[in-house]
Amino acid sequence: KMIDSEFPGTILLAEANQWPSEAKEYFGNEDEFHMCFNFPLMPRLFIALVKQSSLPIKEIINQTLPIPKTCDWGIFLRNHDELTLEMVTDEERDIMYSEYAKVPKMRLNLGIRRRLAPLVDNDRAKLELLYALVFSIPGSPVLYYGDELGMGDNIYLGDRNGVRTPMQWSYDRNAGFSRADNEALYSPVITNPNFHYESVNVESESRISSSLLNVGTER
């Protein structure tokens, strides 16, 4: 209530890696969190892509219980941590590892530390399909910074830092993120040829009508 009255337009988003029946408790009686990430749905979007079946998605949506009318589920594909596989079966986890994390360095804890575009080998059709699902499934779509551009990652950085590299604003020095010396950045910018900041950045994609950024914005 304090957030609603003193900071109108601000939301509280719960990051609770739980089944919908448990996570819905964070909504309270319309007086606690406004939104909660739908964690079990996230890996099943990728599993559905591999199986070419909507069943994994339907199974979770059917478990999404009624929630207060002022609250909503956060529908997402990636965030600042690893793509957690805690809420899947052993068989589903094997599918995720074999399809999306073939190299051991891509794995962390019980998940996959990769950004969205590298997960699908920068396949434009798959990216657009995944975004279409996120924007059509009941809930509020949540995008992780840079994924609207198709930013890459750096699996050679420790822990989860590989998916937390500087936002790529332009092809200028340090991707337009900072004018500081390279050594002063909290993390190096992406220079992988397939995702280099000189080509994958807000300024460049804004000028191309068919870019992932513009197509996603139009939809």
Please give the average per-residue pLDDT across 7-24, as a whole number: 94
- Beginning with the edge strand found earlier in the chain, give each strand of the sheet holding 83-84 in spatial order: 83-84, 111-112, 107-108
Is residue 194 classed as helix, strand or coil in its secondary structure?
A: coil
Query: How confident is the model at residue 219, as a pLDDT?
Result: 60
Model's pTM, two decimal places?
A: 0.93
Q: Which amino acid is at 205?
A: E
Residue-number span of the structural domain to which 89 is assigned: 2-218
Instruction: For residue 195, give every residue at least 6 positions away whose Cβ sits within 8 Å of its Cβ, in sequence order, or none.
Output: 117, 118, 122, 150, 151, 152, 153
- pLDDT number for residue 120: 98
Q: Is the pLDDT of residue 138 over 90?
A: yes
Alpha carbon distance 80, 88 (integer Å): 20
CATH number of the domain that residue 42 is part of: 3.20.20.80
How far apart are alpha carbons 140 and 162 in whole angstroms? 26
- % of the chain with per-residue pLDDT over 70: 100
- The DSSP code sequence of 72-126 is EEEEES--SS-EE-TTS-HHHHHHHHHHH--SGGGEETTEE---HHHHTTT-HHH
- Scanning the structure block, which residue is given the tokens 């965030």? 79
pLDDT tens digit sequence for 74-98: 999 999 999 999 999 999 999 999 9
Tens of pLDDT along 108-132?
Answer: 999 999 999 999 999 999 999 999 9
Give the chain's length.
Answer: 219
The total number of structural domains that make up the chain: 1
